[in-house]
A and B are shown apart, each in its own frame.
Chain A
Amino acid sequence: MVSVDGTSHIRDVAQYAVVARRTTYAPTKNENAQAFVVGPHVSLTGILKVNGEIRIEGRLEADIRCHTLLVAPEAQIDGVIVADRIEIYGVVKGEVYCNRVVVKDNSRVEAELNYRSLELEPGAFFEGRSRRYSNPIEISPAFD
């Protein structure tokens, strides 16, 4: 589409300006070498605490506390998530307390998002509530 009127011009600018360019899930091997991985055929219930990165590819009904959380496209998490950073390609339900929340294209989030910085790509499904805090981790519920 060629933009001749101001209308579509703004639209184009907006799309590029938002930065929320749709990206696909492609974790590099090296980057995640240290990550704790919950594989695609794993289903887990309980509390998961890792002082580092977690990559979820399976199904979890769990409360998670970690530094970085990567939710793969086929993954599903149901629970309370407390982390410095979360990147969601899959499904997340429950409550999220993270400094930086990135919700990717084609993901599904039905949750309460408590964040300091939120980024949502246009193809993401998000229903729920959102609230900004200077320190969202501070207000997160304590795990047993």
Chain B
Amino acid sequence: MFNQQRTETDTLPEPKNDPVPLHAEAMVSGSAAPLSTTGSVIGSDLMILGERLQIISQDVLQIDGDVQGDVSGRRVTIGPDGSVTGTISSEHVDVFGGIRGAVRAGEVVLHPSSHVDGEIVHQSLSVAAGASFEGRVRRAKDKDELTPDLNPQARKPEDKAPLVTSLLSESTEHPH
């Protein structure tokens, strides 16, 4: 029901006047992320923890809570109060909050309030002044490399250990 296409779309004229949306100003300050009218939201009161946890959204996912695990979605937005420890795979990632881990996405946008610690693999990356980013950046040569895998059945967790758990197991596997 979320993806109902409106047929009148094609006949609507393009908006010609002021292209800046009304609440763009609020977002520049990083005080508020847009709440999508469709898709799923992980609320700010929610904390999701787990080993080899994978959250897969077929459409738009907004994360305002704290997630420890891997996140995949067609579009992923990390709200100003949200955080993800793990790998985010998506076509487009908007970051207002924090990420510790990795981002693999065609388009990555780090907004002024964002805080990213980890690796970014992208085709297009933009960073707004005020954003904090520590880590490595690589531009994918092939767009297919970054296409998120939204089919849980096709996934083999043994092949691709999620970053968080591989970090955790690294520390436990070497007691000597």
- Residues of chain A whose beta carbon lies under 8 Å from any beta carbon of chain B: 1-2, 4-7, 9-14, 16-20, 100, 117-132
Q: Choose from A10, A119, A126 the contact partner of B75 (Cβ within 8 Å).
A: A10
| Residues in A neighbouring B38, C-beta threshold 8 A | 5-7
Is the CB–CB distance between B34 and A10 below 8 Å? yes
Q: Quick check: B27 and A130 within 8 Å, CB to CB?
A: no
Bound-state CA distance A11–B37 (Å) is 13
Complex CA–CA separation, A16 to B139 (angstroms): 23
Contact, CB under 8 Å: B132 / A132: yes
B interface residues, how many (CB within 8 angstroms): 45
B39: nearest chain-A partner, CB-CB: A6
Q: A129 vs B117: C-alpha distance in the bound complex, in angstroms?
A: 11
User: Would you give the shortest CB distance from B121 to chain A, in whole angstroms?
Assistant: 10
Q: Which of B14-22, B145-153, B160-168 contacts A (4 or more CB under 8 A)?
A: B14-22
- Cβ of B92 and Cβ of A19 under 8 Å apart? no
Q: Which of A6, A17, A100 has the most CB atoms of chain B within a 10 A radius of its CB?
A: A17
In whole angstroms, what is the CA distance A131 to B135 when docked? 7
Shortest Cβ distance from B59 into A: residue: A7
Give bound CA distance, A117 to B127, whole Å.
10
Take A6-B37, A131-B134 as given contacts and tell me if A120 and B126 are in contact as well, using a CB distance cutoff of 8 Å.
Answer: yes
Q: Which B residues fall within an 8 A CB radius of A?
A: 3, 6, 9, 12-15, 19-21, 23-24, 27-28, 34, 36-39, 59-60, 75, 77, 92, 94, 107, 109-111, 124-139
- Known A13-B24, A122-B126, A129-B137; contact A2-B15, beta-carbon cutoff 8 A: yes
Q: Complex formed: what's the CA distance from A122 to B127 in Å?
A: 8
Q: Would you give the shortest CB distance from A102 to chain B, in whole angstroms?
A: 8
Nearest first, the 3 closest Cβ-Cβ pairs linking A and B are: A6-B37, A120-B127, A17-B27
Query: Smallest Cβ distance from A22 to chain B, in angstroms?
Result: 10
Nearest-neighbour CB distance to chain A for B100, whole angstroms, equals 14
Min C-beta distance of B31 to chain A, whole Å: 11
Per a CB cutoff under 8 Å, which of B23, B77, B128, B134 touches A19?
B128
Chain A residues with CB under 8 Å of B39's CB are: 6-7
- B23's contact among A13, A18, A125, A126, by CB below 8 Å, is which? A13
Interfacial chain A residues near B111, Cβ < 8 Å: 14, 17-18
Chain A residue nearest to B136 (CB atoms) is A129
How many Å lie between the Cα of A18 and that of B27 in the bound state? 8
Asked whether B6 lies within 8 Å of A13 as measured between CB atoms, the reply is no
Q: For residue A18, which residue of chain B has the nearest CB?
A: B128
Within 8 Å CB of A118, what residues of B?
127, 129, 131, 133
Determine if A17 and B124 form an interchain contact, defined as CB atoms under 8 angstroms apart: no
In the assembled complex, 17 residue pairs joining A and B whose CB atoms fall closer than 8 Å, in A order, are A2-B9, A4-B6, A5-B3, A7-B36, A7-B59, A18-B111, A19-B28, A19-B129, A100-B129, A118-B131, A118-B133, A119-B128, A120-B125, A120-B126, A126-B137, A130-B137, A132-B133
